Amino acid sequence: MNQTADMATALPEARYVFLLPRARSFLTIVASTAALILACLLFAPSSVSWGALSGSLPFAAIIAIVGLGQLLVVQQGGFDLSLAGGVSLAVVISTHFPQGDNSLLLPAVLMAVGCAILAGLANGVLVSLFRLNAIVATIGVNALLYGAVFAVSGGVPKTTTTLLAAIAGGQTAGLPNSVYFALAALAVVSFVLKKSIAGRRFEAIGANPLAARSAGLRVQRHQLLAYVYAQLLYCMAGVLVAGVTREPTAFQGDSLLLPSVAVVVLGGTSLLGGRGFPISTVIAAFFLNQLSQFALAVGVPYSAQTIIQALALGFGIGVYSLRWTVNVVKQTKPILKGGNNEALG
């Protein structure tokens, strides 16, 4: 009995292995990144020189970390606009509280983590228990977070502590430390999502909350926790921003909201929820950051820089969507015969 069941599930997997969203999104983003690097080598070789990379990789790492946070929320069919406030709050707590005193850095970071958990719980309770629209709820929480940002900082930037600058802005074995933080975040998110029971349930709930509920999964709890995990990742990104920029402003999170959504989409995760692709998301963060470095290095006027970025993003998303529709038609046909498994597509 077991053997036949295994066979039945193994067969379609083998057959559609190259059509699976994971492979497709992964290949798309890797191919786009390779094409971008080629374009950099041809038209703006300085943007892929070691000096430029070591200066820009920390920012790619930060986008990757907030992207992973946004990914977890998007997987649950949500949307987290409180990212800007979350990141900014972590920035101001980790710079204003220690006031340049290294010994106060650890308590400050712990305080930032505490605030992140509270903010995540607020988002999660509003969205999963009170069934508020995710956009509305997170805008509200974002306003609260900015209230806290002003309460802590008065909107004034403060110079970061030397210890944090060394940890977040330093280099180990030739690579910026922030890259290691991003890789660690990626490893944890990937492992938990793909290899742990809780992670598999989390994805199943994102794909189809109703089916998951009838299967006896605790839908609300997982949806709530998605926002907490996301805030923890934003907090990590905020602390890194505080270390990487010597005198960060109190609004440093604002410019990260759009990239966070862009990398989730470029990484191949559907905005309607479902399966998430952490590795593709992190590669997309590198892609997006390299794209802006490319535009800067080409040396075109600012207007053209923004147009180049918008076109490349549109192209990336367009290519991906096209393949997606074609594959859905192919893939859903045999599955529909077998049963009502639309969510898996």
Write out the residues near other proteins by the rule CB under 8 A.
Answer: 44, 46-47, 49, 51-52, 54-56, 59, 150-151, 153-159, 241, 244-250, 252, 255, 292-293, 296-297, 299-303
Q: Can you tell me the distance from the alpha carbon of 102 to that of 245, in angstroms, rounded to the nearest whole number?
A: 17
Instruction: Specify the residue, 157 or 278, whose C-beta has the smaller distance to other proteins.
Output: 157
Instruction: Specify the residue, 220 or 254, whose C-beta has the smaller distance to other proteins.
Output: 254
Q: Count the neighbouring beta carbons within 10 Å of the beta carbon of residue 120.
A: 28
Instruction: Specify the residue, 153 or 331, whose C-beta has the smaller distance to other proteins.
Output: 153
Contact 90, 237 (CB under 8 A): yes
Q: Can you tell me the distance from the alpha carbon of 123 to that of 69, in angstroms, rounded to the nearest whole number?
A: 13
Q: Closest approach of Cβ 62 to other proteins, in Å?
A: 9
Our separate counts of H helices and E strands in the chain read: 14, 2
Instruction: Specify the residue, 48 or 134, whose C-beta has the smaller distance to other proteins.
Output: 48
Contact 165, 104 (CB under 8 A): no
Q: Closest approach of Cβ 250 to other proteins, in Å?
A: 7
Instruction: Specify the residue, 44 or 239, whose C-beta has the smaller distance to other proteins.
Output: 44
Q: Closest approach of Cβ 262 to other proteins, in Å?
A: 16
Q: Can you tell me the distance from the alpha carbon of 149 to that of 112, in angstroms, rounded to the nearest whole number?
A: 11
Q: Can you tell me the distance from the alpha carbon of 135 to that of 133, in angstroms, rounded to the nearest whole number?
A: 6
Q: Can you tell me the distance from the alpha carbon of 308 to that of 288, in angstroms, rounded to the nearest whole number?
A: 12
Q: Closest approach of Cβ 231 to other proteins, in Å?
A: 21
Q: Can you tell me the distance from the alpha carbon of 248 to that of 95, in angstroms, rounded to the nearest whole number?
A: 8
Q: Closest approach of Cβ 295 to other proteins, in Å?
A: 9
Instruction: Specify the residue, 176 or 278, whose C-beta has the smaller distance to other proteins.
Output: 176
Tokens of 98: 């220690």
Q: Closest approach of Cβ 54 to other proteins, in Å?
A: 7
